Amino acid sequence: MKEHDLQKTPPNVYRFIGQQLPLLLGWAVGSVTFGLLQRQYKNDQQRGLGDQFIGWGAIDGIIAASGMAGMHKNARLLAADKIEPIKHDKDARQFEQVVWVNTVLDIGYILAGKSLVQRNPGNTYRRGMGWGILIQGGFLFLWDLLLALLIRRYRHDNLASS
């Protein structure tokens, strides 16, 4: 088969993003599970940590599941030529911008969690909550930073050349 006979699959940022979201969903399931286990202890710090893991895990799970469904739908629409290339590129740029904003917000979560730990030396439940926020914010910072860098690279490698 000659090179010109091969058809290049057009870039599909929706599919690419959808392929990244199962990691967030896995983190969400693990967070809720870990949180439920921590709630079994009588130690207030573990219970505070557990409550934060359950709450953040539930929200991350909703974001990941709905994001996967939306991206899967848009990937099908793009493949069926029902989304214009200009909208595809605009959606990719907007998604990248949202993830960069989230990365900055994650730093705020980390600082808020650290503050809660430091300002409540006598309240172990609140210290546990602070550790939960700090850990969840730390994961989300790494996740969002990596996702922003990946989507930027994908956009520049695939969309700019198409």
* DSSP-derived secondary structure for 83-152: S-HHHHHHHHHHHHHHHHHHHHHHHHHHHHHHHHHHT-TT-HHHHHHHHHHHHHHHHHHHHHHHHHHHHH
pLDDT band at 158 (very low <50, low <70, confident <90, very high): confident
Whether 143 maps to a domain, the answer reads yes
Whether 5 maps to a domain, the answer reads no
Provide the domain count of the chain: 1
Whether 6 maps to a domain, the answer reads no
Residue 23 has pLDDT above 60, yes or no: yes
Whether 39 maps to a domain, the answer reads yes
Whether 7 maps to a domain, the answer reads no
Instruction: Give the rounded percent of residues in the chain with a pLDDT score beyond 70.
Output: 91
Whether 144 maps to a domain, the answer reads yes
Domain span holding position 154 = 12-159
Q: Looking at residue 4, what is its pLDDT?
A: 42
The whole-angstrom separation of Cα 68 and Cα 61 is 10
Average pLDDT over residues 47-75: 98
pLDDT (tens digit per residue) in 73-113: 999 999 999 999 999 999 999 999 999 999 999 999 999 99
Whether 140 maps to a domain, the answer reads yes
